[in-house]
Structure 1
């Protein structure tokens, strides 16, 4: 009787052992099958990945406000707003009655100074005049010559000529109007040379990330469907008091279409190429549980195992998140399948 009981116990134990092994094998098979498919993205440290959007207006780098060197009455205005002009073209003149009178006075003063000097020189040779008297006469002659030169210069600049081929943007005065020296009369640009720029305003943070030569694209409602390639040409070194922004000048990489005019509204997208050490731009969907400047992501170094990492959030944009720490020494970022992962989960790259 006791032998039967012992034999039955041994058989039961063997059966339980076999069942246990079977369950273990099934569990192992289940673990083997629990591999989560994911998508990976290589982490590139130092790329901000940001695009700066700004608005502004078309302009040229040679817009000039023209005026007369001397004051007087405007005699002729030969152009109107919108007129094309060529380099050296006469645009406006003053009434030269007063200017010519001043120039003639300078000529007469020079002739008198020459006579006085010749007389003083002969008297000095005859020991009648002193050396000082002769020298004073020579100085008076030099002064008269310089005054004549100044009068001739003012006469030449009593007319306005175009400095470059372009268009008349504004006309500030009319014929018969009295203007003083330097009073704005005309504003012209050099659009005839296709030197078109787009001036946009950006914030101080955006200004700091932009460098000369960064690529950009320009669009306008007047040019539907067109994207004009451009690049950063200049950066202002001070804030614009009228707009409260920093001005960035974008130069078009190719000739502007004929539909472009000075002052036309434009939208620009600037892509800074500056690399910022210790930053990563990651897709928004890859960030988990973002809160108070920190969040979590899943990374992988071998493409087979997922690791949960806490990261510091620098900035959140529409489709990207700027990470400023936590991804050091990580090779790949998991950008798909993160909600199904745990720290140490096995993964399979799609």
Structure 2
């Protein structure tokens, strides 16, 4: 009986091992055909509700005024904050040196005229050669041009206002020796009402703002009143002083009268919204883990519109924030972006959504 029992036990053990071992072995085989992923719905225009900003008032026509020639400043006829009119004299150089140069050029021109006339008469009498006549004519032309140069420099030994505006800064003083082109005064055309509110915005705000977006502007000197403006310029580079982008808001319609250069102001910019409210227009904010192969301003993202296959698309990066990447191009009409499992995907991979 013992051999029979041993055989039965051996068969039973083999059967038990077979029944227990098969599932374990199967469970250790990874499913390499369908990759589990996590999705995130994609929404555009994160800043369609108004963007509050603040900055200082300025103009886009500031001018540094200087003299054409070297010299000693004789008079500065304006002070900082003064209103000026177009053509008004605001500063002069001591004219002694420049007048002497102009007089020398005048005398040289008169001598060249006499020499040419004398040579011309001699040529008519067949005494002077044609070459001598031509040389005297060349000398006369050169003296005339030198005289014009001296007269031009003398006319620019004074500084006149290029337009109506205000004196912003005085950069030199009377009696000071200045070089040609050295700034003496800074002016602007603010008297014409060309005011801008220059504000700083973050990467994400910059991507959401467009030219001609409307803005509601508040001026500290006119409390309780709101003025209208539009975005007239978007800076294409970061301001190194603030590490932010600069945006200019130009006042339109009725403008405040009590305003000055450098005055503080606030505004709310209203970016244009998508007509459909879908993700067809950027910018888009996606998690860092969704971006692959980032290189400068470009990268790649896996997306899906049917929840079954992954598609690799190239995107343009416009900025980065604490936990998000701002995408400005490449996700038009995309419904969902893959935020986990991207490392195992390739273009066209089959996917299984484990958490939407």
8 A Cα contact 1:57 1:264, kept in partner: yes
The answer for the alignment partner of 2:184 in structure 1 is: 185
The answer for the alignment partner of 2:251 in structure 1 is: 252
The answer for the alignment partner of 1:101 in structure 2 is: 100
How many residues end up aligned between the 2 structures? 251
Question: 1:104-143, aligned counterparts within 5 Å?
Answer: 104-143=103-142
The answer for the alignment partner of 2:335 in structure 1 is: 325
Distance 1:126 1:93 in 2: 51
Distance 2:218 2:325 in 1: 27
The answer for the alignment partner of 1:221 in structure 2 is: 220
Give the 3 Å change call, closer, same or farther, for CA 250–54 of structure 1 in structure 2. same
TM-score (norm 2): 0.62
The structure that has the greater radius of gyration is 1
> SS where residue 185 of structure 1 aligns?
strand
Give the 3 Å change call, closer, same or farther, for CA 315–239 of structure 1 in structure 2. closer
Distance 1:263 1:254 in 2: 21
The answer for the alignment partner of 1:83 in structure 2 is: 82
8 A Cα contact 1:113 1:144, kept in partner: yes
Aligned Cα root-mean-square deviation (Å): 3.2
8 A Cα contact 1:203 1:246, kept in partner: yes
Gaps of 5+ in 1: 1-44, 282-289, 294-309, 317-322, 327-350
- Residues 288-332 of structure 1: per-residue CA shift (max 9 Å, x gap): xx9x98xxxxxxxxxxxxxxxx9xxx899xxxxxx9625xxxxxx
Distance 1:123 1:237 in 2: 69
Single out whichever of 250-259 and 203-212 deviates more from structure 2. 203-212
The answer for the alignment partner of 2:39 in structure 1 is: none
The answer for the alignment partner of 1:264 in structure 2 is: 263
> SS where residue 199 of structure 1 aligns?
strand
The answer for the alignment partner of 2:279 in structure 1 is: 279
The answer for the alignment partner of 2:353 in structure 1 is: none
8 A Cα contact 1:69 1:158, kept in partner: yes
Give the 3 Å change call, closer, same or farther, for CA 191–130 of structure 1 in structure 2. same
8 A Cα contact 1:218 1:227, kept in partner: yes
**Structure 1 residue runs of 4+, over 4 Å off?**
45-48
Gaps of 5+ in 2: 1-42, 282-286, 291-306, 308-323, 327-332, 337-356
The answer for the alignment partner of 2:205 in structure 1 is: 206
TM-score (norm 1): 0.63
Give the 3 Å change call, closer, same or farther, for CA 245–142 of structure 1 in structure 2. farther
The answer for the alignment partner of 2:146 in structure 1 is: 147
> SS where residue 148 of structure 1 aligns?
helix
The answer for the alignment partner of 1:162 in structure 2 is: 161
Q: CA deviation at 1:137?
A: 1.5
The answer for the alignment partner of 1:68 in structure 2 is: 67
Distance 2:95 2:208 in 1: 54
Distance 2:133 2:81 in 1: 59
8 A Cα contact 1:209 1:274, kept in partner: no
